[in-house]
Amino acid sequence: MATIKIRRVYEKAAAGDGIRILVDRLWPRGVKKEDASWVEWQKELAPSPELRKWFGHDPEKWSQFKRKYAAELKTNAAVVAFLNAHKKDKVITLLYSAHDEEHNQALVLQEYLIKLLS
């Protein structure tokens, strides 16, 4: 089973990050494509545009967002494709651009993937 970590996209890569994958639907502000420190962009794993806009990183909506995003992930074919593509990776670091480190989609995705892998 892979270890799945999360990290803000603006943080420097660390030796233990393994494969680094951007999981935001939108390209992070201020990051040039030639400066990107990740190997792939999995925007299909991010919340739908409607859910992302509804949430708006509002901590008051966090519990509802977690439930709604987990429901989206259950029906998202990209999740299975992602797991199949990375089944040999020992460490996966999911990158996100949100400022709030306690209320962001990468936390929900990390938890969801860990449950699937266990």
Query: What confidence tens digit (pLDDT) does each residue in 11-27 have?
Result: 999 999 999 999 999 99
Domain interval for residue 73: 3-117
pTM comes to: 0.93
User: How many domains does the chain fold into?
Assistant: 1
Strand partners, 115: none
Say which range, 20-24, 30-34, 80-84, 103-107, has the weakest mean pLDDT: 30-34
Sequence-distant (6+) residues with CB within 8 A of 47 are 25, 55, 65, 68, 69, 72, 105
